[in-house]
């Protein structure tokens, strides 16, 4: 229970002040033969946006490092890690050039001080979403279209001694798996002191060299602020014990045993469609779109540390209300997954993404359907990124709140014993969604 005193403290204006601003360059110059990084056909289809993630580290009584020590460790290890992720320190020669010039211009590293305690800040941000000032230069989703930096870091110090490490990476050069690999590589370099340490070597990035595209990059879009103002975000936590119960319910109605992500995505989609149908008074054909990692789907399987965007897109239709049962939706997801097996090339995956987007575009243009996007970060070890002062609490809410979509983002809970679902819906639909009895029987509402 939150005390009145605490409520008074978190409702006051928070003071966020700059401590320092540096440019972190690779510890060693990038060799001449690695100074051009070509974007792949999948990269070229990625949003011109930043992926923002925050890792919160409460003060660790067993860690003797001072605030200044932690900043020094982060800066030194980042410079070392950038010798492997050299393209993160580069720039696009022009806004539409389909390659990165790895010129070692560096990564902006900003330090700031927040006069709140970490727990107070997390409480207030859950209520009003005041997370964006934790990121350097407004590098959040579509907020900074003219920014030339590919990566930005801001280390936020809280009054209690806790810190929040906010990292932004351009989606042109990374998907969520690449970001997770980079964060764990950086943290391991910090713990072991060198990118050549035997414990760090397995985490080194794997590069796939592709020919330079003849197609220019598209210009960065402008976010539809009108849509953003009519949508609300809520977080729902699904313990693994409840997800196991949900899997049993679906397994009893089908021959397929679903994964946690398959059954949860189906439940969220089913509940969102039901809420929208109740509000509008009629059912519309609805589509669940899902981005999925295809590194293991290539005929020659790619290491999980493969750098870039290696995702494809699935679309599960529910053209009639009877097709929104959990068993039918899970079956639809599994069928779509099978079609993504045996990938021969990056070009094949890019062609599939274009095909699905074209189909969805036609439906939306004619207002024939409702579309919900679902992305899963489950299995990506953000909650294990330990720089030497413990494992973090991960906050992915800002990545959802700032996007022009309705849908769901799934991520493992901090303790690994469940899934957090960040759900973004129209306000009227959320009022019904968050009170759905079937949904609530499997979860708890956090915000």
H/E/C letters for each residue in 81-149?
Answer: HCCCCHHHHCECCCCCCCEEECCCCCEEEEEEEECCCHHHHHHHHHHHCCCHHHCHHHCCECCCCCCCC
The three-class DSSP label of residue 24 is strand
pLDDT above 70: residue 88: yes
The string of pLDDT tens digits covering residues 93-150 is: 998 999 999 999 999 999 999 888 888 887 676 556 668 888 998 888 888 788 899 9
447 beta partners? none
β-pairing verdict for 407-412 and 370-376: parallel
pLDDT above 80: residue 226: no
Task: Tell me the mean pLDDT in the region 255-281.
Answer: 94
pLDDT on residue 9? 39
Question: What residue spans of 217-325 are helical by DSSP H?
Answer: 225-229, 240-251, 260-280
pLDDT above 70: residue 1: no
pLDDT above 90: residue 189: yes
Task: Tell me the mean pLDDT in the region 38-59.
Answer: 92
Question: What residue spans of 97-175 are helical by DSSP H?
Answer: 118-128
By percentage, how much of the chain surpasses pLDDT 70? 90
424-435 burial, b for 16+ CB within 10 Å, e for fewer?
A: bbbeebbebbbe
pLDDT on residue 397? 77
Between 14 and 405, the more confident residue is 405
Between 397 and 258, the more confident residue is 258
Task: Tell me the mean pLDDT in the region 384-399.
Answer: 88
Tokens of 107: 């990564």
pLDDT on residue 4? 37
pLDDT above 60: residue 168: yes
61-70, 212-221, 339-348: segment of lowest average pLDDT: 212-221
pLDDT above 60: residue 416: yes
The string of pLDDT tens digits covering residues 296-316 is: 999 999 999 999 999 999 999
pLDDT on residue 115? 87
Tokens of 242: 């409840």
pLDDT on residue 248? 93
Question: What residue spans of 67-117 are helical by DSSP H?
Answer: 67-81
pLDDT on residue 208? 93
pLDDT above 50: residue 3: no
Task: Tell me the mean pLDDT in the region 347-353.
Answer: 94
The string of pLDDT tens digits covering residues 376-391 is: 999 999 999 999 999 9
Tokens of 414: 């901090």
With 0-12 / 13-18 / 19 or more C-beta atoms within 10 angstroms meaning exposed / middle / buried, residue 269 is buried
Please name the residues in contact with 213: beta carbons below 8 A apart, sequence gap of 6 or more. Answer: 38, 39, 40, 41, 44, 98
β-pairing verdict for 311-318 and 286-293: antiparallel
pLDDT above 50: residue 15: yes
CA distances to 70, 183, 206 from 187, in Å: 12, 6, 18
pLDDT band at 8 (very low <50, low <70, confident <90, very high): very low
Answering whether pTM is above 0.85, one says yes
Please name the residues in contact with 220: beta carbons below 8 A apart, sequence gap of 6 or more. Answer: 48, 49, 95, 142, 145, 146
Tokens of 263: 């059954």
Task: Tell me the mean pLDDT in the region 214-225.
Answer: 69
66-75, 141-150, 322-331: segment of lowest average pLDDT: 141-150
pLDDT above 50: residue 12: no
Rounded to whole angstroms, the Cα distance separating 131 from 125 reads 6
pLDDT on residue 225? 53
Domains of the chain: 12-203 (3.30.559.10), 225-445 (3.30.559.10)
pLDDT above 70: residue 367: no
Rounded to whole angstroms, the Cα distance separating 352 from 339 reads 10
pLDDT above 60: residue 13: no
pLDDT on residue 297? 95
Between 421 and 13, the more confident residue is 421
pLDDT on residue 331? 94
Rounded to whole angstroms, the Cα distance separating 258 from 262 reads 6
pLDDT above 90: residue 217: no
Rounded to whole angstroms, the Cα distance separating 423 from 274 reads 15
């Amino acid at each position: 229970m939150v005390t009145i005193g605490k409520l008074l403290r978190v409702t006051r204006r928070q003071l966020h002040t700059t401590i320092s601003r540096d440019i972190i360059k690779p510890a060693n110059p990038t060799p001449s033969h690695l100074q051009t990084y070509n974007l792949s056909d999948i990269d070229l289809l990625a949003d011109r946006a930043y992926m923002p993630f925050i890792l919160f580290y409460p003060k660790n009584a067993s860690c003797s490092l001072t605030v200044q020590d932690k900043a020094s460790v982060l800066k030194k290890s980042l410079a070392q890690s950038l010798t492997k992720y050299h393209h993160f320190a580069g720039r696009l020669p022009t806004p539409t050039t389909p390659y990165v010039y790895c010129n070692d211009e560096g990564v902006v590293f900003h330090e700031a001080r927040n006069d709140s305690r970490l727990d107070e800040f997390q409480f207030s941000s859950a209520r009003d979403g005041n997370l964006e000032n934790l990121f350097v230069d407004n590098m959040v989703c579509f907020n900074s279209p003219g920014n030339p930096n590919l990566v930005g870091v801001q280390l936020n110090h809280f009054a209690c001694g806790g810190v929040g490490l906010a990292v932004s990476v351009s989606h042109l050069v990374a998907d969520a798996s690449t970001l997770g690999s980079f964060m764990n590589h950086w943290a391991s370099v910090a713990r072991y002191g060198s990118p050549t340490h035997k414990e760090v070597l397995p985490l080194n990035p794997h590069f796939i060299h592709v020919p330079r595209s003849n197609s220019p990059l598209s210009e960065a879009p402008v976010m539809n602020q009108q849509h953003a103002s009519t949508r609300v975000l809520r977080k729902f936590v699904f313990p693994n014990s409840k997800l196991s119960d949900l899997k049993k319910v679906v397994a009893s109605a089908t021959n397929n045993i679903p994964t946690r992500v398959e059954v949860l995505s189906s439940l969220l989609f089913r509940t969102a469609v039901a809420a929208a149908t109740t509000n509008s008074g009629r059912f519309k054909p609805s589509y669940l779109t899902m981005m999925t990692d295809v590194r293991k789907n290539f005929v020659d399987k790619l290491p999980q540390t493969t750098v870039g965007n290696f995702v494809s897109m699935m679309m599960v239709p529910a053209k009639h209300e009877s097709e929104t049962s959990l068993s039918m939706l899970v079956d639809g997801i599994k069928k779509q997954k099978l079609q993504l097996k045996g990938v021969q090339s990056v070009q094949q995956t890019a062609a599939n993404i274009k095909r699905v987007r074209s189909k969805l575009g036609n439906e939306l243009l004619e207002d024939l359907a409702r579309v919900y996007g679902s992305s899963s970060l489950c299995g990506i070890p953000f909650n294990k990124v330990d720089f030497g002062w413990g494992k973090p609490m991960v906050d992915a809410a800002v990545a959802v709140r700032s996007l022009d979509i309705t849908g769901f983002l799934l991520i493992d809970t901090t303790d690994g014993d469940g899934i957090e679902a960040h759900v973004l819906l129209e306000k009227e639909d959320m009022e019904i969604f968050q009170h759905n009895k079937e949904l609530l029987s499997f979860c708890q509402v956090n915000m």
